Amino acid sequence: MTDVADPKLEEANVGGGGSTETTAQRISYLRAGHSLKSWLLTTDHKRIGVLYTLSITFFFFIGAAAAALIRLDLLTPAGDLLTNEGYNRAFTIHGVVMVWFFLIPSIPNTFGNFLIPLMIGAKDLAFPKLNLLSWYIYMLAGLFTLFILIAGGVDTGWTFYTPLSTMYANGNVILAATAVFIVGFSSILTGLNFIVTVHTLRCPGMTWGRLPLFVWSIYATSLILVLATPVLSITLVLISLERLFGLGIFTPAIGGDPLLFQHLFWFYSHPAVYIMILPALGVVSELVAAGAHKPIFGYQFVVGSSIAIAALGFFVWGHHMFVSGQSLYASAAFSFLSIAVAIPSGVKVYNWTATLFKGHISLDPPFLFAMTFIGLFVFGGLTGLMLAMLAIDVHVHDTYFVIAHFHYIMVGGTISAFFGALHYWWPKIVGRMYSLAWGRVTAIFFFIGFNLTFFPQFLLGYLGMPRRYHVYPPEFQVLNVVSTGGAAVLGIAYLMPLIYLIYSMRYGKPAPNDPWDAIGLEWTTPSPPPKHNFETLPVVQRPPYDYEIELRDEHV
């Protein structure tokens, strides 16, 4: 990569997947300005994507540290590492940080920001300055949260149930609610930006039916971001005012209803989990197509499934309240709808499997992470269906069964996809190749460590170990020890990429435009791309994932 700018720039071409070397005639976005100011005041979506990646990695490790404390304490049945209050603060901060400061922005704000304009043939998002503002809002909220940590934490669980949070809890509830309120604006503005971008900035020929599945999934996610997050915002305002002024909306003594909080909270928080998984599902579509060198089977059904998940996801919140005193008929309705929302996810998995049929499969790290995703997400999703069954949920609600279920989805699923995306688009983002062998090792450690950590928790849950339990009966110890052991292996898997990926930034081979021979507009640009992505906008004429059926080196 040189710093020479060539005024005569080539047109980006479309559809070709050959590995051309970078011409080194353009200034990459990484080198367009070296000062701190050029980074902190950038409006380039790629730099903002990088800023987000750094921030969410930081917050991930804060949430992971809390998890480490929890798992260490759970090695023994007695609560001997932390006090009861300390433990309660640990799982609360784990949830708050992981949900709002890691999972929700994890794929949209990093890879979504970086890739959406590239994938649709645009020079940037629709509102670049708003994009930067979103990051600053996120950082402000994050700093708030760090302050809360130092100020003693909060002890209500990330779910803030009333009246515990409004009348009885001792921690910094209002501060925590404020931090989450602030980060909500970041979510809303991000979603707004993506929606308008996908509608208005597609290059000529990039019809809706030719959009990469990743773009579709981010679009569906953005709909949820914009429509669900404001409900959380108002709910947080209400519990803060209730705590400050004794509002009474959630206080039975003056005619309020604690369950009203649960309805409001879950009306946001259930769609929120789809914010966390839809982008991952989109990433996996990209990884499977590239790994198999084949178009995704049933593109239209896969698109439809993303929209269906986003839409149906708004109507299932009551499945968090089957035992909370909700009416039988409401529970029956929510159970039915929860089954319905699982179907589109199943459709995707079947379509990915069919994609591999007669494909040209290469076991590079991105593909391996797509496979770990499928393995773990399928299990997580099917246990979710189990939870949707009313009578089963009565027994396992609020136990480790639920914890195992959602970690299979959010860690087994979303983090697999995040790692897959990282290992797939890394060459594009930094312009270097990394050690594929180490990438594969990470995928294996991740899969093994994850299962060791969370599978025992299904058993613990069915045996009757409730969640948020600091002390537990001695007969549960063996399973807890296995789980903590697995967490150590998982921790290694989280740390390994930090080493070889950062190493590659200095010592890795310069990456070609298209290291994976994949098809997509992002692969037609140099690695890393120039600041304005395309000097002349591409014109799309072919369907998406237009891989040649026969490859040069193969016989039929």
Which of the residues 34 through 63 are near other proteins (CB under 8 A)? Answer: none
Work out the burial of residue 84: count CB atoms within 10 Å of its CB; fewer than 13 is exposed, 13-18 middle, 19 or more buried: exposed
* Least distance in angstroms from the C-beta of 303 to other proteins: 12
Comparing CB distances to other proteins, the nearer of 128 and 491 is 128
Omega of the bond leading into 515 within 30 degrees of 0 (cis): no
Q: Please, which of residues 442-461 interact with other proteins by CB under 8 A?
A: 459
Closest by Cα among 412, 408, 438, 410 to 423: 438
Comparing CB distances to other proteins, the nearer of 292 and 430 is 292
Closest by Cα among 461, 374, 469, 468 to 417: 374
Q: Please, which of residues 493-512 interact with other proteins by CB under 8 A?
A: none
**Total residues in contact with other proteins, by rule CB under 8 A:** 134
Comparing CB distances to other proteins, the nearer of 222 and 504 is 222
Q: Is 33 in the site for other proteins (CB under 8 A)?
A: no
Structure tokens at 61: 């490790």
Contact window for other proteins (CB under 8 A) among 115-123, 206-214, 422-430, 437-445: 115-123
CB 43 within 8 A of CB 129: yes
Q: Out of 109, 110, 172, 233, which residue is the one contacting other proteins (CB under 8 A)? A: 233
Q: Is 440 in the site for other proteins (CB under 8 A)?
A: no
Closest by Cα among 483, 403, 404, 409 to 449: 483
Q: Out of 102, 379, 424, 438, which residue is the one contacting other proteins (CB under 8 A)? A: 379
Structure tokens at 30: 């990484």
Contact window for other proteins (CB under 8 A) among 28-36, 105-113, 145-153, 335-343: 335-343
User: Is the C-alpha dihedral spanning 179, 181, 182, 185 positive or negative?
Assistant: positive
Q: Is 255 in the site for other proteins (CB under 8 A)?
A: yes
Q: Is 99 in the site for other proteins (CB under 8 A)?
A: no
* Least distance in angstroms from the C-beta of 44 to other proteins: 10
Q: Out of 2, 13, 353, 541, which residue is the one contacting other proteins (CB under 8 A)? A: 353
Comparing CB distances to other proteins, the nearer of 365 and 504 is 365
Comparing CB distances to other proteins, the nearer of 282 and 291 is 291
Q: Helix, strand or coil for residue 466?
A: strand
Comparing CB distances to other proteins, the nearer of 145 and 222 is 222
- Identify residue 1 by its one-letter amino acid code: M
Q: Helix, strand or coil for residue 269?
A: helix
The residues near 495 (Cβ < 8 Å, ≥ 6 apart) are: none
CB 350 within 8 A of CB 379: no
* Least distance in angstroms from the C-beta of 454 to other proteins: 16
Comparing CB distances to other proteins, the nearer of 91 and 418 is 91
Q: Is 15 in the site for other proteins (CB under 8 A)?
A: no
Work out the burial of residue 389: count CB atoms within 10 Å of its CB; fewer than 13 is exposed, 13-18 middle, 19 or more buried: middle
Q: What is the dihedral of CA 85, 415, 210, 541, to 10 degrees?
A: 140
Comparing CB distances to other proteins, the nearer of 31 and 360 is 360
- Identify residue 8 by its one-letter amino acid code: K
Comparing CB distances to other proteins, the nearer of 221 and 504 is 221
Contact window for other proteins (CB under 8 A) among 135-143, 211-219, 374-382, 423-431: 374-382
Chain CA centroid to CA 480, Å: 27
Q: Out of 24, 72, 247, 482, which residue is the one contacting other proteins (CB under 8 A)? A: 247
Furthest-apart CA atoms within the chain: distance in Å: 78
Contact window for other proteins (CB under 8 A) among 393-401, 425-433, 438-446, 507-515: 393-401
The residues near 350 (Cβ < 8 Å, ≥ 6 apart) are: none
The residues near 555 (Cβ < 8 Å, ≥ 6 apart) are: none
Q: Is 3 in the site for other proteins (CB under 8 A)?
A: no
Q: What is d(CA 446, CA 494) in angstroms, rounded to the nearest whole number?
A: 8
Q: Out of 46, 119, 124, 154, which residue is the one contacting other proteins (CB under 8 A)? A: 124
Q: Out of 374, 376, 410, 501, which residue is the one contacting other proteins (CB under 8 A)? A: 374
* Least distance in angstroms from the C-beta of 463 to other proteins: 5
Total length of the chain = 556
Comparing CB distances to other proteins, the nearer of 36 and 254 is 254
What is the Rg, in whole angstroms, of the alpha carbon atoms belonging to the chain?
23
Q: What is d(CA 405, CA 351) in angstroms, rounded to the nearest whole number?
A: 23
Closest by Cα among 97, 64, 94, 26 to 529: 26
Q: Please, which of residues 171-210 interact with other proteins by CB under 8 A?
A: 188, 191-192, 195-196, 199-201
Q: Please, which of residues 287-326 interact with other proteins by CB under 8 A?
A: 292-295, 297-301, 322-325
Q: Please, which of residues 261-280 interact with other proteins by CB under 8 A?
A: 263-264, 267
Q: What is d(CA 30, CA 51) in angstroms, rounded to the nearest whole number?
A: 12
Comparing CB distances to other proteins, the nearer of 25 and 251 is 251
Q: Is 490 in the site for other proteins (CB under 8 A)?
A: no
Q: What is d(CA 181, CA 268) in angstroms, rounded to the nearest whole number?
A: 13
Cβ density class 100-127: b for 16+ within 10 Å, e for less: bbbbbbbbbbbbbbbbbbbbbbbbbbbb
Q: Is 81 in the site for other proteins (CB under 8 A)?
A: no
Q: Is 436 in the site for other proteins (CB under 8 A)?
A: no
Comparing CB distances to other proteins, the nearer of 185 and 494 is 185
Q: Out of 143, 363, 444, 498, which residue is the one contacting other proteins (CB under 8 A)? A: 363
Comparing CB distances to other proteins, the nearer of 257 and 477 is 257
Q: Out of 25, 81, 82, 257, which residue is the one contacting other proteins (CB under 8 A)? A: 257
The residues near 478 (Cβ < 8 Å, ≥ 6 apart) are: none
* Least distance in angstroms from the C-beta of 483 to other proteins: 14
Q: Is 136 in the site for other proteins (CB under 8 A)?
A: no
Q: Is 537 in the site for other proteins (CB under 8 A)?
A: yes
Closest by Cα among 373, 375, 536, 400 to 465: 400
